[in-house]
Structure 1
Amino acid sequence: MKWENRYWGDRTPPKTKAEFFNAVTTPNPTGDGEVATIRLYGPIDSYSGWFGVSTSDIGEVLDQLPSTVERIVLRINSPGGEVAEAVAILNMLRAHKATVTAVVDGLAASAASVIAAGCDETVMSPGTQMMIHSPWSFALGNASELRKTAGVLDSFESTLIEIYTGKAGEKEWAELLAEETWLNSQAAVELGLADRIAVIPDAGETATPGGDLDADLDDVEDSTTLRVASTIPTPVASASGTPTGKETAVAFSDDQLNTMRASLGLTDDADETAILSAVAARPTPQLPDGVVTIDASALDDLRTQAQAGVEARKQQKREERDRYIDNAISRGKFAAARRDNFVKLYDADPEGTRAVIDELAENTIPVDEAGFDADGETVAAADDAAVAAFAARMGFTNGAR
């Protein structure tokens, strides 16, 4: 898929990873074990973070699934992404002991179709789409290097054909991929890349003990610290009666009572009343040095002011970017027609973009309207070379997509 389908560039990135990737486990309706629902709603990308869902994201979720999970429902709405990353995700799912059902909720395009077609069962929700196409990549270099890149793409395409053939059998896959074939739900079933059309009930809301899916990705150093939600049993009341809605009595086990007695230094025959009395008599915990309490309204004011400061800093950075790029244009480093391209590159990597622009010679592009040669290609060629050079710095040369 093209860049505009990714969570960067002109699109505003999501604030939290949970907006496009999370997981929840629920009891299996058949009564055997549990069902884990994983929602893959976004691009497939090794960068992780808000760039997309990576192998490490999926691996972390699978590692934390309870041993009672017997079935995984992978809900997909993805424009695709990196081929190798998608194949790795598929193989991790295949290696898990649970059976895996892929449910296409909206779109399974490009690399996402590889994951959908490779699962134990593939279900197309009504009105959904699947798209398959030949892999593509960036390349920069001489004729020999470009031919090598073409060979790599051919190798990736053979991988796609192997997976599609394993699902649907022998077809004219090379032709279908070259044409960029779009399939609605019925066509996907008829081609054999999906097994049926159905509405698969969702697992419901996600609870996340031990982790916070709503944490702002800008404030999380490792944005892949995702936790799987587990089913929490309902507490059992220790006495009969009508719940008041204010409190719930929970029956402690003998092991829990013995642990509390030992912790409080009580005798083995101490009853619950004695335990509660001992707890009440314990000194009030003191805040550690350097930790203070703050009024909730004051905290809200601080957060509001901090957010305003963040927005102001973002505006400063945008203005700084615009001044730098406009100055480069005025000095004839590249054409004004390429301004938006360099703005996107700058937003993705300010330091790298500055380094590339600083290396461009001044007055390469005349600043008046006479800057085109007789063929009208001098400006575009120079700017294309600059964009290609920066793409190489960003590591796009061998990333088949």
Structure 2
Amino acid sequence: MNPFRPAGRASVERTPIRAELPSAKTSGTTATLRLYDPIDSWGEWWGISAKEFTRVLDELPDDVTEIRLLINSPGGEVFEGIAIMNALRSHPAKVTAIVEGIAASSASFIAAAADELVMMQNSQLYIHNAWAIVLGDAADMRDVADELENSFDRNIASVYAAKSGDTVEHWLAEMEKDRFLTAEEAVAEKLADRIEGVGDAESAKAKFDLSVFARKDGRRAAARADVQTPSSSEPGTPNRKETVVAHDDFMAGVRDRLGVTDADASDETVMAALDEVLAEQAETPAAPAATLPDGAIIVDKAAHEQLVSDAAAGRTAMNAINAQRRDGIIAAAMQDGRIAASAKDGWRAQLDKDEDGIKALLESFPKNAVPVEEVGHSDTLTSAEDAMYSQAFPTEEVAR
């Protein structure tokens, strides 16, 4: 999952992770581009990719002499950010980066590489050491750690050094501190050229989940309970992005068949359209009262067969939606450390019986009661969550 997407805050208004292509507006020979989302190689729903950004950059008129890059982004993938940065460097127009809220992580070095960096009042930059997720043995861990320090960190620090005139070592030390720089500090550190206008960095930061950058006891708490590493796309556990895409494709097909033209229509809207179609098809001319008993109607055979088929398709669609929602409840409980992976099947079965009650019960469990990262396993259930499950649903023997 995208680490900048707030977890457990579905009812809170926030900047959506879905990213429109960077919109370009031109005024004379000046073009405006907006980087308002995470930087992610998947693009589209997940954030702005270098491919999307450069496609819009290539479409700018040839007579553009200045690009105003407006930034409010939590950053994201390093090499996607480097590709965007170098595309802007290669463009013949002067690039003026304007931080309207926050330029964090990879968005900060994109801003620093511009010909001019302007901080709006109250806006912020955020700089930190690069980090990664790795699976492997101790040698693999050491190799990745060395690569992060000797390649990624120094590469990023060199961008800040080129802008400010300070040494790479100076910026490596500053990145180690995980610094949020105010507009004034950014100018004092010579990363920004000037301050202008009015901004609101705290409000901008609230639109993204930046807790992934938090440190605990002086070190970054990278393995947060509410952040789960992406699963493999190989046979076995499906990749979450693939599941989302499959569901989107399915719902798109349902929308087309029902004539719903709004591509962003919610599942509830689609199901309401399905109910309306079924209701219309159920309407038939009234049968002669003298020939039919009360409660009976005459339905054309073809219409009846179509009605049965549509009802079955609607039920299949609803079952798929219910299953995905309930899978999401279990996944969220595991991500929050409320239940252990060994008991997920049992909890999932209970959701099919009483979704509201079981969901409320899961949400009442304390977070982080179960470690998110596996440090070993046993063929016996010993976690606090397993004990609560056994108490809620006693059986003679726990299934394994």
Contact 2:369 2:385 in 1 (8 A): no
Counterpart Cα distance in 1 of 2:141 and 2:340: 34
Deviation by residue 1:214-263 (Cα, 9 ceiling, x = unmatched)? xxx99988xxxxxxxxxxxxxxxxxxxxxxxxxxxxxxxxxxxxxxxxxx
Counterpart check, 1:365 vs 2:381: yes
Contact 2:19 2:43 in 1 (8 A): no
Counterpart check, 1:104 vs 2:99: yes
**Structure 2 CA distance for partners of 1:50 and 1:26, relative to 1, 3 Å:** same
What secondary structure, in the 3-state scheme, does the structure 2 residue paired with 1:81 have? coil
Report the AA paired with residue 343 of structure 2.
S
**Structure 2 CA distance for partners of 1:193 and 1:136, relative to 1, 3 Å:** same
**Structure 2 CA distance for partners of 1:50 and 1:323, relative to 1, 3 Å:** closer
TM-score of the aligned structures, taking structure 2 as reference length: 0.54
Q: What's the Cα RMSD here?
A: 4.4
Deviation by residue 1:59-81 (Cα, 9 ceiling, x = unmatched)? 11112112222211111111111
Structure 1 window deviating more from structure 2 (321-330 vs 143-152): it is: 321-330
Deviation by residue 1:145-189 (Cα, 9 ceiling, x = unmatched)? 111101210110111111111100114212111111111001101
Match of 1:392 in 2: none
Report the AA paired with residue 23 of structure 2.
A
Tell me how far 1:26 sits from its aligned partner: 2.4
Report the AA paired with residue 179 of structure 1.
K
Tell me how far 1:116 sits from its aligned partner: 0.3
What secondary structure, in the 3-state scheme, does the structure 1 residue paired with 2:68 have? strand
**Structure 2 CA distance for partners of 1:175 and 1:25, relative to 1, 3 Å:** same
Counterpart check, 1:316 vs 2:323: yes
Contact 2:95 2:115 in 1 (8 A): yes
Deviation by residue 1:375-398 (Cα, 9 ceiling, x = unmatched)? xxxxxxxxxxxxxxxxxxxxxxxx
Counterpart Cα distance in 2 of 1:322 and 1:69: 50
Contact 1:161 1:173 in 2 (8 A): yes
**Structure 2 CA distance for partners of 1:303 and 1:189, relative to 1, 3 Å:** same
Match of 1:176 in 2: 174
Unaligned runs of 5+ in 2: 200-244, 250-255, 276-313, 348-364, 388-400
Counterpart check, 1:61 vs 2:56: yes
What secondary structure, in the 3-state scheme, does the structure 2 residue paired with 1:193 have? coil
Counterpart Cα distance in 1 of 2:23 and 2:91: 16
**Structure 2 CA distance for partners of 1:329 and 1:128, relative to 1, 3 Å:** same
**Structure 2 CA distance for partners of 1:316 and 1:177, relative to 1, 3 Å:** same
Match of 2:83 in 1: 88
Tell me how far 1:319 sits from its aligned partner: 2.0
Match of 1:27 in 2: 27
Match of 1:41 in 2: 36
What secondary structure, in the 3-state scheme, does the structure 1 residue paired with 2:31 have? strand
Counterpart Cα distance in 2 of 1:295 and 1:136: 43
**Structure 2 CA distance for partners of 1:370 and 1:48, relative to 1, 3 Å:** closer
Tell me how far 1:314 sits from its aligned partner: 3.5
**Structure 2 CA distance for partners of 1:42 and 1:142, relative to 1, 3 Å:** same
Counterpart Cα distance in 2 of 1:60 and 1:167: 27
Report the AA paired with residue 318 of structure 1.
R
Counterpart Cα distance in 2 of 1:370 and 1:15: 34
Counterpart Cα distance in 1 of 2:341 and 2:51: 39
What secondary structure, in the 3-state scheme, does the structure 2 residue paired with 1:72 have? strand
Tell me how far 1:50 sits from its aligned partner: 2.1
Counterpart Cα distance in 2 of 1:302 and 1:366: 44
Match of 1:260 in 2: none
Counterpart Cα distance in 2 of 1:302 and 1:181: 45
Q: Which residues in structure 2 correspond to 1:268-287 (within 5 Å)?
A: none
Contact 1:44 1:80 in 2 (8 A): yes
Deviation by residue 1:246-282 (Cα, 9 ceiling, x = unmatched)? xxxxxxxxxxxxxxxxxxxxxxxxxxxxxxxxxxxxx
Match of 1:282 in 2: none
**Structure 2 CA distance for partners of 1:113 and 1:302, relative to 1, 3 Å:** closer
Unaligned runs of 5+ in 1: 29-33, 202-216, 222-290, 346-355, 372-401
Counterpart Cα distance in 1 of 2:342 and 2:97: 49
What secondary structure, in the 3-state scheme, does the structure 2 residue paired with 1:22 have? coil
Match of 1:165 in 2: 161
Q: Which residues in structure 2 correspond to 1:297-312 (within 5 Å)?
A: 305-306=272-273
Aligned residues: percent identity?
Answer: 33
Tell me how far 1:315 sits from its aligned partner: 3.7
Tell me how far 1:139 sits from its aligned partner: 2.1
**Structure 2 CA distance for partners of 1:93 and 1:218, relative to 1, 3 Å:** farther
Q: Which residues in structure 2 correspond to 1:1-400 (within 5 Å)?
A: 4=3, 6-7=4-5, 9-10=7-8, 14=16, 17-18=19-20, 22-28=22-28, 34-154=29-149, 155-171=151-167, 172-199=170-197, 305-306=272-273, 313-322=320-329, 329-330=342-343, 363-366=379-382
Counterpart Cα distance in 2 of 1:23 and 1:98: 17
Contact 1:80 1:111 in 2 (8 A): yes
Structure scoring higher RCO (CA < 8 A, sep ≥ 6) equals 1
Counterpart Cα distance in 2 of 1:40 and 1:316: 36
TM-score of the aligned structures, taking structure 1 as reference length: 0.54
